[in-house]
Every structure is written in structure tokens, then in C-alpha cells.
Amino acid sequence: MNEQILSIIITFIGSSINSISQAVQKIGLDTRRLNKNRGWAIWLLGSCLMAATPFIFMYATSLGGVSLVGAMSGTGLAALILFSHYVMKEEITVNELAGVILILGASVLIGVFSRGEAIESFINLPLLFFYLAAAVIVYAVLILISFKADKMTGIVLGGFAGSLAGFITLFQKVTTSNPLNSPSVFSNPFLYVWIIIGAVAFIVLQFSYTKGRAIRIIPFFAANSIVIPVIGGVVCFKESLNFFQWLGIFLIITGVYIKNTGKERA
């Protein structure tokens, strides 16, 4: 099987598990109010599922370009919609459904037209760290602003967690590329960089669940986790994007906007 196709399949599986694990965590946090032990057990199950997904994505990244993996990470939204509706019993509005379908379609568009072209072993590490710092600063400002509009706090925090998740993909590519020629993956310092970033993303995401509905937070998480590595792949790894892939990024942003317009329900 073509490595790029295999990378797409693995990313789809990992993304589906990741999206469902986030919803399971949300169920656990909600259940905790009625049954503390049961709630923590459900939350732990979701957390274990989530902890496994970065390693699935790292394997996918080792097979395909980081832009490809980042773009296809949004495909798990399909599993989220079904899980939220049939398991969490959350009503899905027309706007939410249309937005998620647009995000999902855009993710597939980017993946289908991905050529996976990149300059072999090219990694601009200083630019990658600058990119990370810039994203953190921007979201720090947005979080401070969102505290004045409480309904937006969960969405902004979810977006921040998603952006950090996107950087996990980028640093996983650095890890598998092994620019420092580390003798093993465990001696590679970039392994611990993305693990630390993942831990911070995990904490931020848990806090976001206390500020809003999973069906609204997770797509923001997903959109950021898609856009960040796609742009990072182009800028920091010199991977190429064609017209259809840039169109896909635009459609993702549009889908997020459409999905979050309309009346908010409690």
C-alpha cells in the first residue's frame, strides 16, 4: 500500500479516536456531578484513549508529510457528530451540522490533493519555535479578552488547546526526522518537547469543557489542530500546498464560523 494512503487511513483512525475520547471526557466531567466515582472512571477512560492518539499520529507523520497529517486530523469530526448525537444525546442544529460537514469536507479536500512534497530533511527549527511562541501570545491575548464574554471562553480555550495539538504534529515530524541524530527516540529531546506541549493542551482542553458544550468546543479544537500544522509544514518544513489545499484551509475557517452562528442553547 502507498505510504501516503496508509498515512491518511492511520490519521483518520487516530482522529476518530481522539474526537471520541474528548467527548468521553466531557461525559465523565458531567457525570461526576451526580456520581463522583463513575464520573472519574469515564473521564479516565477518555483520557487513556486520548493519550494513545499522539503515538498514532506520530506513526502517520513518519509515513506522510506533516501538512497531510495535520489536514486529515479533522476527519474525526464525523465520528464526533455521531457520538454526540446518539450517545451524549446532544441536539445538533442545522448550523452546527453544516459547519462540521464543511470542515470535514475541507479536510478530505486537503488530503486528497496533498502531494506530500517537501525538501528532504529540511527543518527550520528557530522558525518553528518562533511560530509556537507567536501562537501562544496570540491566544493569551484572546483568552484575556474572552473572560469578558463568558460564552466565548470555552471556544477560545478549545482553540488554544487545538493549536497546541497542531504543534504536537510538527514536533513529532522533527522527532521522526531526527535532526540531532539521536541514537534512540527516547534520547531525542524533541520527543519530550511534544509530550510537554501535549500535556499542556490536555489541561487546557479539560478546563474548556467546564466553559461550554463539547459539540461547540471540539470543532474549534479540530480546526486549529488542522490549520497550525498545515501552515507550519509549508513555512517550517517547506512542504508545498496547491490551490485546492489552500481552498480547504479557507473552507475550514468558514465552517467554524458557520457552525458557531445562531442561537446558543444551554
Half-sphere exposure of 46 (CA within 13 A, CB side): 22
Residues 41/46/52/56 CA torsion (nearest 10 deg)? 160
Which residue did the predictor score with more confidence, 89 or 135? 135
CA dihedral for 252, 253, 258, 259, sign (positive or negative): positive
pLDDT value at 9 more than 80? yes
Q: Cα(87)–Cα(42) distance, rounded to whole angstroms?
A: 13
Using a cut of 0.95, tell me whether the model's pTM lies above it. no
Nearest to 21 by CA among 175, 174, 201, 252: 201
Kindly report, residue by residue over 143-189, the tens digit of the pLDDT: 999 887 777 888 999 999 999 999 999 999 899 888 888 888 889 99
pLDDT on residue 118? 47
Q: Which of 62, 11, 55 is nearest to 177 (CA)?
A: 62
pLDDT tens, position by position, 184-232: 888 999 999 999 999 999 899 888 988 877 777 877 888 898 889 989 9
pLDDT of residue 115: 60
- CB-neighbour burial class of residue 201 (10 A; exposed 0-12, middle 13-18, buried 19+): buried
